């Protein structure tokens, strides 16, 4: 094949295209790492609040405002966690969509590793499990609040 043959150019990836694809992949991985770092930090924060409520029930439960403050803080952190998680997954999905489109357009001769069927199923299950963890924490706070103020 000649160097100026269009089929030869189409089957070979240009260095610029590879660099752009690498930037997309790095952006997706960076967003994923950020999501997990936030998840871990907020999981620890909520666990500490629940632990404080469980370990010293007489100190916190005896003081209505202290219990209300802890439960309110926990609910606020959980609501922020929910919003941050939804925004983070949405941003990661936008990056993945752009990378899929770029890969489909510039690497037609190769299978698209970013194809939705390959990565969306696992990502969706993980996303739902993270949301479930957040909802469980919120339900714990609502339950603790109900117990605290219905027994008062």
Q: Rounded CA gap, 82 and 63, in Å? A: 29
Lowest-confidence pick of 28-37, 117-126, 143-152: 117-126
Distances (CA, A) of 14 to 9, 10, 20, 111: 8, 9, 10, 16
pLDDT in tens, 26-78: 988 898 899 999 999 999 999 999 888 877 766 666 777 877 888 899 999 99
In this predicted structure, what is the pLDDT of residue 6? 53
In this predicted structure, what is the pLDDT of residue 104? 80
* Confidence at 1, pLDDT banded by 50, 70, 90: very low
46 neighbors 137 (Cβ within 8 angstroms): yes
In this predicted structure, what is the pLDDT of residue 120? 66
Q: Rounded CA gap, 126 and 120, in Å? A: 10
């Amino acid at each position: 094949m000649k160097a100026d043959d269009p089929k030869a150019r189409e089957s070979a990836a240009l260095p610029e295209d590879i660099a752009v694809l690498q930037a997309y992949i790095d952006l997706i991985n960076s967003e994923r790492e950020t999501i997990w770092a936030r998840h871990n930090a907020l999981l620890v924060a909520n666990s500490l609040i629940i632990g404080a409520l469980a370990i010293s029930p007489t100190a916190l439960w005896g003081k209505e405002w202290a219990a209300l403050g802890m439960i309110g803080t926990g609910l606020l952190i959980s609501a922020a966690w929910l919003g941050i998680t939804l925004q983070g997954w949405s941003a990661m999905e936008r990056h993945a969509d752009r990378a899929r489109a770029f890969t489909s357009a510039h690497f037609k001769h190769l299978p698209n590793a970013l194809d939705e069927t390959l990565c969306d199923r696992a990502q969706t299950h993980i996303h739902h499990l993270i949301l479930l963890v957040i909802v469980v924490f919120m339900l714990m706070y609502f339950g603790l609040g109900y117990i605290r103020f219905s027994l008062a």
